[in-house]
Amino acid sequence: LLRLQGAVDEVALDVLHADGSKIPVLANAAEKRDAEGGHLFTRLTLIKAVERRKYERNLQASLAKAEQAFLEEHEAAALREQFIAVLGHDLRNPLAAIAAGIDMLKKSETLSERGERVIYEMAASIARASALIDNVLDFARNRLGNGLAVSRDVTPITPILEQVAAELRSIATDREIVADLSIDEPIVCDRVKIGQLAGNLLSNAVTHGASEAPIIFRAATTASHLTISVSNGGPPIDEVTQRQLFQPFFRGDVRHSQNGLGLGLFIVSEIAKAHGGEINVISTPEETRFTFSMPLMDD
């Protein structure tokens, strides 16, 4: 290199000490030649570089470990995705079978008042379990880095919103749920996810709202946006709690009988983001209102 370049910088060498140990150094060298190209001298400078060489070796080792960890995590992520798909399938199938059995009993059997009550409780539990499965699977997929998948189409969403309200009325028979839907169809969106969003908001209102106050469920379109809101009475939500409402596993102050996973509002937030929209909350002594808004898209 000296002959080709006339100088070299920071060549890593190990100098052998008299006691047999090695001293890591960096060598800098330069040649001095006369006008005819004759060699006059070579200046060599050795810089002790124990710490630097150690740092470089550690950096290389850390890089190798990081690359190995990335490969292992990639393989683990693929296995988790397969597990999630199998889990969702295997959990939904028995629930669907139980639901079908309940429907058969209601249609073909004469049930006592107690029997009808048991059937009602079973149906409510199935609906709750299905919602929990949907929330857990969406959360898991989102955490795996795939984001929340949405499938947009122009199928009317009014029927699914009406169905969501009807299901909540059948589950919470002691609560008044007033639906006011005024949507100019069609809306380009994932109607199943929008239905899930509405269901989570209504379930949240049933859980945390004052039992004596009606739950108001509104959906409407303007020239540029679709808005869905759910409002309920009850004590206002303080500002500190409001800032955490859409975090995963945050459940706030709930009674033991109301315990859940704390994923409902987080999934609402993710569905809103996936549609290019947003979710907001306003809470006063008069009412607490969650509002989802998304821009309309051309079909």
What pLDDT, in 10s, does the model give residues 236-280?
A: 999 888 888 888 766 665 444 444 556 789 889 989 999 999 999
Q: What pLDDT does residue 256 have?
A: 40
140-149 tens-digit pLDDT: 666 555 567 7
Does the pLDDT of residue 23 top 60, yes or no? yes
Q: What pLDDT does residue 286 have?
A: 93
Rounded to an integer, what distance in angstroms lies between the CA atom of residue 114 and that of residue 118? 6
140-176 tens-digit pLDDT: 666 555 567 778 888 899 998 998 898 888 778 889 9
DSSP state of 286: S
Rounded to an integer, what distance in angstroms lies between the CA atom of residue 202 and that of residue 217? 8
Rounded to an integer, what distance in angstroms lies between the CA atom of residue 252 and that of residue 245? 8
Rounded to an integer, what distance in angstroms lies between the CA atom of residue 62 and that of residue 71? 14
202-213 tens-digit pLDDT: 989 998 999 999
Question: Mean pLDDT over residues 84-100, rounded?
Answer: 73
Q: How is residue 260 written in tokens? A: 């859940």
Does the pLDDT of residue 177 top 90, yes or no? yes
Does the pLDDT of residue 129 top 80, yes or no? no
